[in-house]
């Protein structure tokens, strides 16, 4: 643990040592006339640029800060995405573990929330969204310690949402992504190992990947970067969030090995009720995740909201009905898994597909991850404790590919800007390239990081601690008394 | 009866409890019949939980005035069941059952057993079992009544 803390301290000092360049005062500009002021208001309603936002603008704006509607929407969405992790994900995962490990899941989610926030503040946000350093990683220093990230919009990402709100919104994604990995390694990884792994994984996998896909000059940002080498699209994080965490989770759970007694002891969920409550919270929070990714309360957000609802509901129903047909009983875990799978698969597509597309996605999201969890996992015998791979990697991969086939300019005019020629034809090939990059980066980095962590603090608790349960061993508390 | 036992009996009488009535040879713990004939029996019935209300009513109708009920787990020929969570299957060996215990005068036992069978039977595997055993003595704590009067 000491090694871990000193490592983070070193990183913080290294970043702070780099000096920040202050912008010089801009030249004097004229006040806008009445017509220009009305045009600014129209821009606010239409989520477009003000006259003053142009690089060579000669006028100022009377509404130079954030727009209240878009900004309010974005703050609510940010809170909803945090709600997905705390408590949505820890209840969903927590209900699925045995009762001696419930608190370890809660602690790991809280631990990640704190750790990732500190990284994000120090250099993470800058690394992802600071432009000017190239297509694969952002500037380490441009927004280091969130310098210059204030309540005024950063027009690279939004004309009407405060820069600080945007950075907090994106922070919530950075928190939930590594937390998803916890599902595969539940009940058998030391708390210190989880923290060290996540700290390194964020720097090596998440930050570069998020920059490549969402950074304004990112290599795989097909929507906004005309010079992107891979013209892929990912509305809310199919590759960045679900594929990266899901594929890393598979590798990490293989390196860790199965839980003690896996396949011999009863490891049934200790509370399906808790799991179902968590699922409901995830679904609600996912509106912030998907609709909020429009970074404006506009028509694209409305479309994302609609497709998210349909895909989740259809997938939940399909998964449970498959169980009904095959096993004779639709299970609660089936409904819950289907809902989450539907939400995962629609994530990269939600702002790009229409309602018909979302129904197709819903049906496939109920079918393909179901087959992965019900047949692939028992066949290959890996211990992906709570099915992070089966739901998030398989679902995220499926979603990224389907987005390539189903995206349409009819619901999102931004697809006509840089992708006019490939949408509806060869976009899926670009998607395949982005998927390959994501899988290779996640798999290779996870192997390296896992063995580093193993060498530094060790991955697994002692057999005695694991048998006793991580709640007492790692946290000195019990989830339930008596 | 040995000397020690007699002395203990005297002591017990002084305390208001008759040891000899329990029929035990205190020195050896050996069971003897010579003082008391058993006139009561204990019925233990393991039944399906959803049949509890019907069994209770049926017993009430044949004059049973009390019973003790516990939630228990176990298995017989029905064995356990299988739970499936996504791809993982777990066998649950012990099924939840209800155990009813009651002590009755000999004369009422056959009727009570008949009532339990009638109320608890579904004809399917897992209906449960009834065990009947002799009871040496019963004491009502409040009044100190003994034997059949106490049950």
Best of B84, B87, B93 to mutate (most A CBs within 10 Å, chain A): B87
Residues of A in contact with B84 (CB under 8 A): 327, 331
Best of B80, B84, B88 to mutate (most A CBs within 10 Å, chain A): B88
Distance from CA of B84 to the nearest CA of A (A): 8
Q: How far is CA B7 from CA A78, B11, B23, B32, in A?
A: 84, 6, 15, 18
- B10 or B139, higher pLDDT: B139
**Is the CB of residue A375 less than 8 Å away from at least one CB of chain B?**
yes
The predicted model scores a pTM of: 0.83
Q: What are the residue boundaries of the structural domains of chain A, listed by start?
A: 75-474
Please report the residues numbered 181 through 200 in chain A whose beta carbons come closer than 8 angstroms to any beta carbon of chain B. Answer: none
The helix or strand, by DSSP H or E, that contains position B90, with its residue range, turns out to be strand B88-92
pLDDT at B76: 87
Inter-chain CB proximity A374 and B91 less than 8 Å = no
- A297 or B15, higher pLDDT: A297
For chains A and B, CB pairs below 8 A equal 33
Inter-chain CB proximity B85 and A96 less than 8 Å = yes
Please give the CATH architecture assigned to the domain spanning A75-474.
Orthogonal Bundle (1.10)
Chain B residues within 8 A (CB-CB) of chain A?
83-88, 90-92
pLDDT digits (tens, 9 = 90+) for B88-109: 888 888 889 999 999 999 999 9
All domains in chain B, ordered by first residue:
1-36 (no CATH), 38-150 (3.30.70.120)
pLDDT at A362: 98
Distance from CA of A398 to the nearest CA of B (A): 19
Reading chain A (482 residues) residue by residue, the pLDDT tens digits are 566 666 666 665 655 554 444 455 656 889 999 999 999 999 999 999 999 998 888 999 999 899 999 999 999 999 999 999 999 999 999 999 999 999 999 999 999 999 999 999 999 999 999 998 999 999 989 999 999 999 999 999 999 999 999 999 999 999 999 999 999 999 999 999 999 999 999 999 999 999 999 999 999 999 999 999 999 999 999 999 999 999 999 999 999 999 999 988 889 999 999 999 999 999 999 999 999 999 999 999 999 999 999 999 999 999 999 999 999 999 999 999 999 999 999 999 999 999 999 999 999 999 999 999 999 999 999 999 999 999 999 999 999 999 999 999 999 999 999 999 999 999 999 999 999 999 999 999 999 999 999 999 999 999 999 999 999 999 999 999 86
Q: Does the pLDDT value for residue B134 go beyond 60?
A: yes
Distance from CA of B46 to the nearest CA of A (A): 26
pLDDT at A25: 61
pLDDT at B23: 39
- Among B84, B85, B87, select the one facing A375 at the smallest CB separation: B87
pLDDT at A1: 57
Which among A67, A75, A293, A63 has a CA at the least distance from the CA of A165? A75
**How far, in Å, CA of A379 to CA of A104, rounded?**
29
Residue B139 in 3-state DSSP? Answer: strand
pLDDT at A167: 98
Q: Does the pLDDT value for residue B22 go beyond 50?
A: no
Residue B103 in 3-state DSSP? Answer: strand
pLDDT at B32: 45
Q: Is the Cβ–Cβ distance between A355 and A306 less than 8 Å? A: yes
Residues of B in contact with A267 (CB under 8 A): 88, 90
Distance of CA A452 to the CA centre of its chain: 24
pLDDT at A11: 60
**Is the CB of residue A327 less than 8 Å away from at least one CB of chain B?**
yes
pLDDT digits (tens, 9 = 90+) for B27-37: 444 444 444 56
Distance from CA of A332 to the nearest CA of B (A): 9
Please report the residues numbered 258 through 277 in chain A whose beta carbons come closer than 8 angstroms to any beta carbon of chain B. Answer: 266-269
Q: Is the Cβ–Cβ distance between A357 and A379 less than 8 Å? A: no
Q: Which alpha helices (DSSP H) does A161-261 contain, by range? A: 163-185, 191-201, 207-214, 244-256
Strand order in the sheet with B95-105: B68-74, B95-105, B40-47, B128-135
Inter-chain CB proximity B90 and A266 less than 8 Å = yes
Inter-chain CB proximity A373 and B92 less than 8 Å = no
Map B27-54 to HEC letters: CCCCECCCCCCCCEEEEEEEECHHHHHH
Collect all residues with Cβ–Cβ distance below 8 Å to B18 and sequence separation of at least 6. B9, B12
pLDDT at A304: 98
Inter-chain CB proximity B87 and A374 less than 8 Å = yes
State the complex-level ipTM. 0.71
Which among A311, A105, A346, A378 has a CA at the least distance from the CA of A235? A346
Confidence of residue B21 (pLDDT cuts 50, 70, 90): very low
Question: Tokens standing for A407?
Answer: 């995206």
pLDDT at B24: 41
Inter-chain CB proximity B86 and A333 less than 8 Å = yes
Q: Does the pLDDT value for residue B12 go beyond 80?
A: no
pLDDT at A5: 65
pLDDT digits (tens, 9 = 90+) for B37-81: 668 999 999 999 999 999 999 999 999 989 999 999 999 888 888
Distance from CA of A314 to the nearest CA of B (A): 18
């Amino acid at each position: 643990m000491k090694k871990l803390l000193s490592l983070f301290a070193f990183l913080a000092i290294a970043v702070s040592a780099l000096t920040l360049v202050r912008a010089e005062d801009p030249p004097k500009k004229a006040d806008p006339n009445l017509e220009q002021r009305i045009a600014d208001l129209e821009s606010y309603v239409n989520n477009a640029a003000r006259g003053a936002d142009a690089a060579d603008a000669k006028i100022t704006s009377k509404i130079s800060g954030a727009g209240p509607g878009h900004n309010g929407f974005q703050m609510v969405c940010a809170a909803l995405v945090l709600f997905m992790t705390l408590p949505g994900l820890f209840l969903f995962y927590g209900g699925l573990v045995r009762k001696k490990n419930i608190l370890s899941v809660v602690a790991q989610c809280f631990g990640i929330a704190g750790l990732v926030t500190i990284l994000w503040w120090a250099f993470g946000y800058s690394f992802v969204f600071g432009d000017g350093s190239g297509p694969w990683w952002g500037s380490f220093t441009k927004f280091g310690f969130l310098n210059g990230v204030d309540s005024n919009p950063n027009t690279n990402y939004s004309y009407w949402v405060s820069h600080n709100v945007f950075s907090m919104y994106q922070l919530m994604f950075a928190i939930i992504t590594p937390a998803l990995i916890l599902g595969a390694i539940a009940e058998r990884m030391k708390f210190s190992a989880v923290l060290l792994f996540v700290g390194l994984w964020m720097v090596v996998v998440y930050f570069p990947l998020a920059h490549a896909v969402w950074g304004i000059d990112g290599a795989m940002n097909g929507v906004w970067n005309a010079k992107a080498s891979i013209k892929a699209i990912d509305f809310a994080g199919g590759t960045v969030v679900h594929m990266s965490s899901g594929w890393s989770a598979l590798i990490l759970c293989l390196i860790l090995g199965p839980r003690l007694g896996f396949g011999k002891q009863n490891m049934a969920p200790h509370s399906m009720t808790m799991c179902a409550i968590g699922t409901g919270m995830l679904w609600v929070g996912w509106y912030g995740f998907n609709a909020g990714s429009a970074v404006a309360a506009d028509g694209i957000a409305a479309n994302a909201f609609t497709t998210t609802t349909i895909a989740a509901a259809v997938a939940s129903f399909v998964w449970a009905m498959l169980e009904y047909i095959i096993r004779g009983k639709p299970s609660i875990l089936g409904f819950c898994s289907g809902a989450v799978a539907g939400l995962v698969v629609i994530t990269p597509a939600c702002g790009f597909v229409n309602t018909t597309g979302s129904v197709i996605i819903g049906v496939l999201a109920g079918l393909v991850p179901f087959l992965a969890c019900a047949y692939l996992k028992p066949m290959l015998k890996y211990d992906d404790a709570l099915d992070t791979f089966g739901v998030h990697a398989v679902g995220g991969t499926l979603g990224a590919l389907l987005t390539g086939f189903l995206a349409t300019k009819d619901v999102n005019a931004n697809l006509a800007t840089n992708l006019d020629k490939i949408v509806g034809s060869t976009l899926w090939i670009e998607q395949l390239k982005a998927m390959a990059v994501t899988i290779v980066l996640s798999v290779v980095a996870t192997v390296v990081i896992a063995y580093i962590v193993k060498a530094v603090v060790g991955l697994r608790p002692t057999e005695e601690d694991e048998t006793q349960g991580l709640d007492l061993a790692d946290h000195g508390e019990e989830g339930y008394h008596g | 009866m040995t000397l020690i036992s007699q002395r203990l009996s005297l002591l017990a009488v002084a305390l208001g409890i008759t040891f000899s009535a329990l029929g035990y040879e205190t020195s050896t713990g050996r069971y003897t019949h010579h003082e008391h004939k058993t006139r009561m029996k204990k019925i233990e019935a393991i039944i399906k939980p959803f049949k509890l209300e019907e069994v209770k009513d049926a017993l009430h109708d044949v004059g049973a005035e009390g019973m003790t009920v516990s939630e228990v787990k176990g298995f017989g020929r029905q064995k356990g069941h299988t739970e499936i969570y996504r791809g993982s299957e777990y066998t649950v060996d012990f099924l939840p059952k209800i155990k009813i215990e009651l002590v009755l005068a000999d004369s009422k036992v056959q009727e009570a057993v008949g009532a339990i069978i009638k109320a608890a039977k579904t004809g399917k595997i897992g209906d449960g079992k009834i065990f009947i055993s002799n009871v040496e003595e019963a004491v009502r704590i409040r009044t100190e009544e003994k034997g059949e009067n106490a049950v």
